[in-house]
Amino acid sequence: MLITNHVMSGAVVGALAPGPVSAFVLGVASHFTLDTVPHWGDEATFLQVAVVDGLVGLAAMGTIAATTPPDRRARVLAGMLGACAPDTDKPSEVFFGRSPFPEALDAWHKRIQRESPRRMPQEVVVATLGALLVRRLVRG
Ligand SMILES: [Zn+2]
């Protein structure tokens, strides 16, 4: 799943969580849950899409954090960070040649993916609905 969609789901989870620690933990859980839902994935174009998606996701995270009311900003940010944390293995492998996580966790993370190169339109729909939900729930 695109990291931008993990950012959106993490923001929603963070807005609904009682505090930053639970928001982070629920964000991580939301990541693995969404990875089991059929989504876009394409070995041939992964890196090109991942660079654009990473930048869009980072911009979304910054914009959401900056526009979230101060009373809920910490838990929204924690939810987004938790929701993105499991995918830090990808840039880590590119830049440092290895994942920061145990091999068994990475193997399981790869096994739960249900990817197809034909599902990019679905990712765009999920991102759009996510942005609308974030605007309503997070920014109030
Ligand atoms: Zn993942």
Residue spans per domain, the chain: 3-128
Between the CA of 109 and the centroid of ligand 1 the distance, in Å, is: 6
Helix (H, G, I), strand (E, B) or coil at 39: strand
Cα 120 to Cα 100: distance, rounded to the nearest angstrom? 28
Per-residue pLDDT of the chain (140 residues; tens, 9 = 90+): 999 999 999 999 999 999 999 999 999 999 999 999 999 999 899 999 999 999 999 999 999 999 999 999 999 999 999 999 999 999 999 999 999 999 999 999 999 999 999 999 999 999 999 999 999 988 76
- β-bridge partners, 115: 39
Between the CA of 71 and the centroid of ligand 1 the distance, in Å, is: 29
Between the CA of 87 and the centroid of ligand 1 the distance, in Å, is: 5
